[in-house]
Amino acid sequence: MGLFDNFKKKRAIKGYIEKLPNVLVNDYGRQEYYTQLQVRRSIERAGLNSQHQHYALAMYTNHPEFIAYQSEIHENFSYEELREEVGGAYFSGSTDFNCSSVIAASASFGGDSSSIDCSGGGGDGGSN
């Protein structure tokens, strides 16, 4: 991966941390995990780069949902490796980050996390 490609990837991941939590919670309510369709639609609505959406999916979906996404697009990304990369860059190496951790990171980047709380259920389970 070239230097410019790496820059674009890091910028996309930062956008998934800064902007995506607000869109997901506003559109689907508070959830521990979202469906791959919810995440993909929210990336589009937020105007974020979808080229690296597999990182957002590793951040906001559970492992089975991520595998379903992979079989749809016929790619073979490692959920664990993507979470390791994001965790190493933004969560002090932890791969146990969750929606609440992402929101805390969002606030450190200047994202608006004042109205977001990922505790509890909610959402519509994928309709929209």
User: Are 19 and 110 within 8 A, CB to CB?
Assistant: no
Res 106: pLDDT: 77
Closest of 105, 61, 94 to residue 79, by C-alpha: 61
- Could you tell me the residue ranges of all domains in the chain? 3-108
Res 110: pLDDT: 61
Mean pLDDT by 10 residues, the chain (128 residues): 87 93 92 94 96 96 94 91 93 84 74 53 43
CA angle 64, 69, 71 (to 5 degrees): 95
Closest of 74, 56, 75, 57 to residue 66, by C-alpha: 57
Q: What letter represents residue 2's amino acid?
A: G
Query: Number of helices and strands (H, E) in the chain?
Result: 7, 0
